[in-house]
Amino acid sequence: MRRISQSAVVWILLALALSIGAEAQSKCVVKPSRIIRTRPNATSANGTQQLQWYAQGVKAMQQRSTTNPNDPTGWTYQAAMHGTYTTPVKPLWNTCQHGNYFFLSWHRMYLYFFERIVRANSNAGFNLPYWDYDNPTSATDPKLQLPSQFRDTSSSLYVSERNPTMNAGGYLPVGDVGTDYSMKRIPFTCGATNWSSSFGGKLVPAPVHFASGFGALESLPHNAVHDDVGGWMSDPNTAAQDPIFWLHHSNIDRLWDAWVKLDAGRMDPTDPTYTAWLDQKFYFFDEKANQCYLTGRDILKDAAQLGYKYQSITVPVPSTKVNCPGRRLTATLTPQLVAELTQGKISLGPKPMTHQLPVKEIAPEPTPKTRKKAPAAAASHHYVISFDDIDFDKNPGVGYEVYLNLPEGTKPVPTSPYYIGTLHFFGLKHSHQESHESQLQFDATNVVNLLKQRNQWKGQINVTYVPVGPRPPKATAAAQEEHVAGTATIGKVSISQVD
């Protein structure tokens, strides 16, 4: 009798172990209810209700972490799935996808399960609100402030580590939150090369925790807002511990929907070229702490497949369209260096700075003898500016707007024709990390062509960096100096002709 029960126990344990093993391999159940839930704007009436539940849920999840640090539905465990400095590493920690074309799909899944966990820890009616900071009407549009609940020091949504300006009701810089930059990109990806012109990021053969092929939406507003909020938010290894992280990502996920809705050739990676993206499995925990996976094809249509939509996904129609340089997605283009600065590091501080970039002479293209070269030919090339070996001890917490040959006395504003892009640091390597890419690239085609037209593309050109951080709630005169939390350096600056 005793022997039988012992072997029965063994069998039960074995069956249990197998079923847990099988569980880990199973597809997540994402049966949407027939009613499609709405993720509201945080500052709407519904958003206010949701934020009460959210504060409750955050508290309950923090409590879970205290009671049992191994509970995958606890607050710190969930945040560590994004990234953490804590060791030893527990299952599914450090799995976020950055700087590659899995960025949007991974974060959509991450948010979806987090929302279910908060719901289970607060109210069945909970839907994750979004922080609608984009396309403000002025530099002091209230949408640029952290929603007030996150600034209430008595709330579980408050985090003291943030940039003090933001916690005091300061405003995100207008240049960091426009959607024109991302929405004008037509392709989801430009393949393994030339990703700087794509919406969704660089194509990689397999998931990468940190690469530096940032798509347009990941750069702006995503990385920018991380840096501006500062504190935990400015480092992927701590970011998801700040409750605002989830509302920021809700907005990024919403902007993905907004891009799809703009249509006119914009398309998710649904054709067979993208089987790897579509079939890639990513693992998560549901609210019952069951581990399961979803793939890209399971999450493309948030309403139909995951059962949620956003209160509004309307954004301004972008000014122009940007396509990939080169004709074919997979074409390997050999970039030709046209300007390069390699000696000495460039140090970025609290004040604007300018350095000179020597332009290389390239032999003119052979012109067919029979025909005169069309004057428009020069404009058909694409140029990419690359900032390599970026390093910093602590994220500066500001962005650096970059301009080429900004004329003396001209106000540096991102709407100027000399503007290249804004350097942000979230997701880049810093001195505490080894093996980590640390490059930022921007399409420089329009600016280079402008300089050529004006006969300024020769000898030395000026590269100007202007630090821009959050604006204090009661800004006096425009500050000529920004508060920077750390100093960033750049090892190399170059411009290449890519087709």
Smallest distance from ligand C2O to CB 83, Å: 7
Q: Given CA atoms 34, 39, 44, 50 in this order, what sign does their dihedral have? A: positive
Listing DSSP states for 74-139 in one string gives SHHHHHHHH--S-SSPPTT-S---BSSTTHHHHHHHHHHHHHHHHHHTS-TT----B---SS-SST
Smallest distance from ligand C2O to CB 218, Å: 8
Smallest distance from ligand C2O to CB 236, Å: 6
Listing DSSP states for 162-177 in one string gives S-HHHHTT-B--GGGS
Smallest distance from ligand C2O to CB 213, Å: 14
Interaction residues for ligand C2O, span 457-496 (CB under 6 A): none
201 counts as binding ligand C2O under rule CB under 6 A: no
Report the C-alpha gap between 211 and 201 in whole angstroms: 10
| Complex with ligand C2O: residue 430 or 492, whichever CB lies closer | 430
DSSP code of 296?
Answer: G
226 counts as binding ligand C2O under rule CB under 6 A: yes
| Complex with ligand C2O: residue 385 or 423, whichever CB lies closer | 423
424 counts as binding ligand C2O under rule CB under 6 A: no
Report the C-alpha gap between 2 and 23 in whole angstroms: 31
Q: Find the binder of ligand C2O among 236, 318, 397, 421 (CB under 6 A).
A: 236
How many residues sit close enough to ligand C2O to count as binding (CB under 6 A)? 9
Smallest distance from ligand C2O to CB 179, Å: 16
Smallest distance from ligand C2O to CB 477, Å: 33
Q: For tokens 């969930």, what's the residue?
A: 78
Q: Find the binder of ligand C2O among 119, 151, 184, 222 (CB under 6 A).
A: 222
Smallest distance from ligand C2O to CB 248, Å: 6
Q: What's the CA angle centered on 286, arms 282 and 290, to 5 degrees?
A: 90
Smallest distance from ligand C2O to CB 452, Å: 37
Report the C-alpha gap between 191 and 202 in whole angstroms: 6
239 counts as binding ligand C2O under rule CB under 6 A: yes
| Complex with ligand C2O: residue 54 or 418, whichever CB lies closer | 54
Smallest distance from ligand C2O to CB 239, Å: 6
82 counts as binding ligand C2O under rule CB under 6 A: yes
| Complex with ligand C2O: residue 74 or 236, whichever CB lies closer | 236
Nearest C-alpha neighbor of 442 from the set 265, 214, 284? 214
Q: Find the binder of ligand C2O among 64, 185, 202, 249 (CB under 6 A).
A: 249
Interaction residues for ligand C2O, span 148-187 (CB under 6 A): none
Element housing 401 (H / E): strand 399-404
Nearest C-alpha neighbor of 384 from the set 330, 326, 428? 326
| Complex with ligand C2O: residue 229 or 359, whichever CB lies closer | 229
Copy the structure tokens of residue 189. Answer: 């990806």
Closest residue to ligand C2O: CB criterion = 96
Q: What's the CA angle centered on 287, arms 90 and 83, to 5 degrees?
A: 35
| Complex with ligand C2O: residue 209 or 394, whichever CB lies closer | 209
Copy the structure tokens of residue 345. Answer: 């590091």
Please tell me whether residue 54 adopts helix, strand or coil conformation.
Answer: helix
Please tell me whether residue 347 adopts helix, strand or coil conformation.
Answer: strand
| Complex with ligand C2O: residue 249 or 382, whichever CB lies closer | 249
64 counts as binding ligand C2O under rule CB under 6 A: no
Residue 189: CB atoms within 10 A of its CB come to 26
Listing DSSP states for 276-292 in one string gives HHHH-EEEEE-TT--EE
| Complex with ligand C2O: residue 202 or 382, whichever CB lies closer | 202
Smallest distance from ligand C2O to CB 494, Å: 28
Interaction residues for ligand C2O, span 92-121 (CB under 6 A): 96, 98, 107
Report the C-alpha gap between 149 and 394 in whole angstroms: 27
| Complex with ligand C2O: residue 43 or 100, whichever CB lies closer | 100
254 counts as binding ligand C2O under rule CB under 6 A: no
231 counts as binding ligand C2O under rule CB under 6 A: no
Smallest distance from ligand C2O to CB 237, Å: 10
Report the C-alpha gap between 240 and 149 in whole angstroms: 17
Copy the structure tokens of residue 311. Answer: 């209160």
Copy the structure tokens of residue 316. Answer: 């301004």
| Complex with ligand C2O: residue 39 or 249, whichever CB lies closer | 249
Residues that bind ligand C2O (CB under 6 A): 82, 96, 98, 107, 222, 226, 236, 239, 249
